[in-house]
Structure 1
């Protein structure tokens, strides 16, 4: 992987703020979709078909625009294989976790990733951390430890899965920030979802859970979740990441659990 860097500013434009608000709203549905899909299929199958549908959607748009460049993947193959494997593992663990604990709790616990991501931004990306960011990280550690060590084996297992999933995702986003900022955005996103889908095919086959969505309703949820939770959500996520420091991006995402808890109470 070749290191690339871009300069980002702490001053956010109105356009960036609008994207951030939309991203936070949509991102808060991630575990809600995961919980809905557990009623129809295993976490492996859910994650796999979401990523396959997302790959087809993104690939179709880029093909229509004649913008697919296979050289981008080949020149950065180890980068894409690394982030694809990390995101695939993270997604399966997240979807498995919401079969054991409710999405609201999982989302709160997921803020433990704030600590991991801020550590990566400071020690690896050499970004400076403000006093507010350090205080926020400390509060996340306290909250994560408190929630993780609650009574009940299933609760602890679900909590550990969430922490593992978010640690994987934090590492992937640090890799993206360090090496991916200068890549063509469309091709970056295509190969990100495509390599994730490829790893999910392998994971699903190895798990012995390979199957198709069992009903039209399941397919409909897969289509909606892939479009909203993968394509739209991650497009906003990665675009916003290019506009600011990783530390600021991470701190802003700590607001998503509040919305996730609201959706969790409404739907479940």
Structure 2
């Protein structure tokens, strides 16, 4: 079940990337992130309020970790993605986004001293080669022309935030149920984003033109890549661990390709098929490794 949930999570995120890019001229990035999370909070509030009352003592007891996880994920990750997509190209953003599993493995190995098998590293490399094959359209030499700009930096920051969040999920309060944990992170993240969204709208943003597409985009962002994806991701990381779950990020270019083909009638070429086969092969190799990860104690 964890594999299905993580796959759906990446599918929802791929849709979020497509819509986020299409909306960057209509709505400013921080305001878009804030509206997304405020609507998500509104939708879950009837179920969340009783949980907050029931778990008030536990929430106050663990507020430092809850706040940290909320800032890393809700407040920062997608906000920096939206910021990056207003400047950088889709190719650059995809390359940097696909680095998440590698960053997770590096943090796990270097900071938490977690054992990562050679088979897992091989799986990462094979998946990454598939990602590069898709991005470069079969012309790996085109990477020599890769340049970094301010948008790339924003996306890279987002990558680090999400990798940290995924690794630190192991330290989330075990006695707080998953839905309450998610709701608290949305609440804290929305509050943290609010002053920045107000400042951005007041000083930098152009007036929003509300129409059916704008409303439907915000609704999609609030329900699928926000509520469902975060619940699915947290459950997947809890069952498989951050390192293995992170491999599913490599599915992002595949889903982007499928969505583009379906909605934009773009053609599928041989390098698309080859790239997807490499990605799936790498994920399979890393997930079904027989080497177990060493249990790590929480740093003091």
TM-score by length of 2: 0.72
Which structure is larger by alpha-carbon Rg, 1 or 2?
Answer: 2
SS at match of 1:29: helix
Equivalent residue runs for 1:118-157 within 5 Å: 118-137=105-124, 150=145, 156-157=149-150
* Match of residue 271 from structure 2: none
User: CA 1:190 to 1:123, structure 2 compared with 1: closer, same or farther past 3 Å?
Assistant: same
Aligned partners of 1:114 and 1:250 also within 8 Å: yes
Aligned partners of 2:88 and 2:149 also within 8 Å: no
Q: Deviations over 1:67-124 (max 9, x none)?
A: 3333333112111221222232222210021122344642332112222211122233
Equivalent residue runs for 1:101-180 within 5 Å: 101-103=88-90, 105-137=92-124, 150=145, 156-180=149-173
Structure 1 residue 138: Cα displacement: 5.7
Aligned residue among 15, 29, 48 for 1:43:
29
User: CA 1:45 to 1:211, structure 2 compared with 1: closer, same or farther past 3 Å?
Assistant: farther
Aligned partners of 2:178 and 2:231 also within 8 Å: no
**Counterpart-to-counterpart distance in 1, 2:146 and 2:238:** 41
SS at match of 1:28: helix
| Uncovered stretches (5+) of structure 2, i.e. residues with no partner | 136-140, 267-300
Structure 1 residue 232: Cα displacement: 1.1
Structure 1 residue 200: Cα displacement: 1.0
Equivalent residue runs for 1:241-260 within 5 Å: 241-260=237-256
User: CA 1:150 to 1:104, structure 2 compared with 1: closer, same or farther past 3 Å?
Assistant: closer
* Match of residue 78 from structure 2: 91
Aligned residue among 191, 196, 203 for 2:196:
203
* Match of residue 276 from structure 2: none
Aligned partners of 1:148 and 1:159 also within 8 Å: no
Aligned residue among 77, 84, 94 for 2:63:
77
| Uncovered stretches (5+) of structure 1, i.e. residues with no partner | 1-14
Aligned residue among 43, 47, 53 for 1:57:
43
User: CA 1:243 to 1:158, structure 2 compared with 1: closer, same or farther past 3 Å?
Assistant: same
Aligned partners of 2:26 and 2:208 also within 8 Å: yes
* Match of residue 51 from structure 2: 67
TM-score by length of 1: 0.80
RMSD: 3.0
How many residues get paired? 249
Structure 1 residue 181: Cα displacement: 4.7
Structure 1 residue 180: Cα displacement: 4.0
* Match of residue 221 from structure 1: 217
**Counterpart-to-counterpart distance in 2, 1:251 and 1:178:** 21
Aligned partners of 2:179 and 2:231 also within 8 Å: no
User: CA 1:18 to 1:112, structure 2 compared with 1: closer, same or farther past 3 Å?
Assistant: closer
